[in-house]
């Protein structure tokens, strides 16, 4: 569905060199990306600020011309075949709007129906589905400029989907949304993904989006792919461990060691301890701890994706 071969985008920027002089410098925003994405895949495309995510999406959607390399989406070349491609993809750039600022939301949707020449019945069916899943009814008659960010994003998603695209490109679709709106958007996208017909590429800084939605995670940094695989593969690569957190009746004895674990934190005046499970099962660790000290409460934490990704971003 999507193919990138040694895809590159270089920007020339002018930087200050002395009081009046300006020097030209080249920024390799995307620096040789190779990726193939199959129909129905849900791909999380993440990376630190300035990594090249938005630039990649702009080349995939025909907004920017690549400096070098090959790119195809739905078998089309995005820039030369931009009009044809527009019928087959849906795009949301969280920072920009595709809606008409002064029109009520439903009129924007109606305009899009004409622009994309969607048969009325098809359009009505899709809109009905979005209205119920994204809870649009409350603000369908409101001009877009009066919508809150979360309301507008739900409108943007609807607008991107009304022509029944095969591929959806979402650049930070949950940016700035409250917890409830985020969950609504995620549930909506999950349902869309479950049909298996829509291919989705999503960038985000909220890793919960990825955990909820994407089986495949592509991480880029300085314009290059530094990880491509499942979240589990990322945990395995970085040796992520589960943790056992225990609330104790009294602090641990000074020379206490729990076999197969490493004590990573002691808080609450020594009453709360955290062990990283290195080479033992949770059951064995719990048994060992309970046998040694009176325990009030226990919980087991899965490895934190934020931690792993932070390590990935900062590793050279």
Ligand X SMILES: Nc1ncnc2c1ncn2[C@@H]1O[C@H](COP(=O)(O)OP(=O)(O)OP(=O)(O)O)[C@@H](O)[C@H]1O
| Binding region for ligand X (CB under 6 A) | 11, 13, 27, 29, 47, 49-55
**Number of residues that make up the chain:** 316
Spatial neighbors of 267 by CB under 8 A, at least 6 apart, are: 273
Nearer to ligand X, 47 or 303 (CB): 47
Query: Which partner in ligand X, Mg ion, none is near 27 (CB below 5 to 8 A by kind)?
Result: ligand X
Nearer to ligand X, 198 or 218 (CB): 218
55 scored as a contact of Mg ion (CB under 5 A): no
Query: Which partner in ligand X, Mg ion, none is near 7 (CB below 5 to 8 A by kind)?
Result: none
39-70 CB burial, b ≥16 within 10 A, e <16: eebbbbbbbbeebbbbbbbbbbbbebebbebe
261 scored as a contact of Mg ion (CB under 5 A): no
Nearer to ligand X, 217 or 248 (CB): 217
Q: How far apart are CA 100 and CA 307, in angstroms?
A: 40
54 scored as a contact of Mg ion (CB under 5 A): yes
Query: Which partner in ligand X, Mg ion, none is near 29 (CB below 5 to 8 A by kind)?
Result: ligand X
Number of Cβ within a 10 Å radius of residue 296 = 11
Residue nearest to Mg ion (CB): 54
Query: Which partner in ligand X, Mg ion, none is near 11 (CB below 5 to 8 A by kind)?
Result: ligand X
Nearer to ligand X, 67 or 148 (CB): 67
Least distance (Å) between residue 315 CB and Mg ion: 21
Nearer to ligand X, 100 or 313 (CB): 313
61 scored as a contact of Mg ion (CB under 5 A): no
Q: How far apart are CA 244 and CA 274, in angstroms?
A: 6
Nearer to Mg ion, 54 or 174 (CB): 54
Query: Which partner in Mg ion, ligand X, none is near 49 (CB below 5 to 8 A by kind)?
Result: ligand X
Q: What is the CA radius of gyration of the chain?
A: 24
In sign, the C-alpha dihedral spanning 220, 226, 230, 234 is: negative
Nearer to ligand X, 49 or 83 (CB): 49
Do 213 and 275 touch, CB atoms closer than 8 A? no
Least distance (Å) between residue 151 CB and Mg ion: 22
Q: How far apart are CA 64 and CA 158, in angstroms?
A: 24
C-alpha closest to that of 165 among 98, 84, 236, 109: 84
Query: Which partner in Mg ion, ligand X, none is near 217 (CB below 5 to 8 A by kind)?
Result: none
Least distance (Å) between residue 283 CB and ligand X: 41
Q: How far apart are CA 31 and CA 264, in angstroms?
A: 39
187-226 CB burial, b ≥16 within 10 A, e <16: ebbeebbeeeebbbbbbbebbebbebbbebbbbbbebbbe
The CA-based angle 247-252-253, given to 5 degrees, is 165
Choices 50-58, 73-81, 188-196, 267-275; region in contact with Mg ion by CB under 5 A: 50-58
Write out the residues near Mg ion by the rule CB under 5 A. Answer: 54
């Amino acid at each position: 569905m999507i193919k990138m071969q040694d895809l590159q985008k270089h920007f020339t920027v002018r930087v200050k060199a002395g009081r009046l002089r300006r020097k030209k410098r080249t920024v390799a925003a995307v620096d040789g990306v190779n990726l193939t994405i199959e129909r129905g895949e849900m791909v999380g495309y993440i990376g630190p600020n300035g990594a090249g995510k938005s630039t990649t999406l702009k080349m995939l959607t025909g907004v920017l011309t690549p400096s070098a390399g090959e790119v195809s989406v739905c078998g089309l070349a995005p820039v030369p075949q931009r009009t044809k491609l527009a019928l087959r993809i849906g795009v949301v750039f969280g920072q920009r709007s595709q809606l008409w600022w002064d029109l009520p939301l439903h009129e924007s949707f109606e305009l899009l129906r004409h622009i994309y020449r969607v048969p009325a019945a098809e359009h009505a069916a899709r809109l009905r589905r979005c209205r119920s899943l994204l809870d649009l009814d409350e603000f369908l008659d409101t001009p877009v400029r009066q919508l809150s960010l979360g309301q507008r994003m739900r409108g943007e998603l609807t607008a991107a989907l009304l022509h029944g695209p095969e591929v959806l490109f979402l650049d930070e679709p949950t940016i700035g949304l409250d917890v409830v709106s985020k969950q609504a958007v995620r549930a909506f996208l999950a349902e869309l993904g479950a049909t298996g017909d829509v291919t989705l590429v999503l960038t985000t800084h909220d890793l919960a989006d990825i955990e909820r939605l994407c089986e495949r995670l592509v991480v880029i940094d300085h314009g290059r792919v530094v990880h491509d695989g499942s979240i589990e593969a990322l945990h395995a690569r970085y040796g992520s461990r589960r943790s056992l957190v225990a609330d104790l009746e009294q602090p641990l004895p000074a020379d206490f060691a729990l076999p197969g674990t490493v004590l990573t934190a002691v808080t609450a005046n020594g009453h709360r301890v955290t062990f990283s499970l290195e080479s033992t099962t949770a059951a064995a660790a719990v048994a060992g701890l309970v046998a040694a000290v009176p325990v009030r409460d226990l919980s087991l934490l899965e490895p934190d994706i934020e931690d792993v990704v932070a390590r990935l971003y900062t590793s050279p």
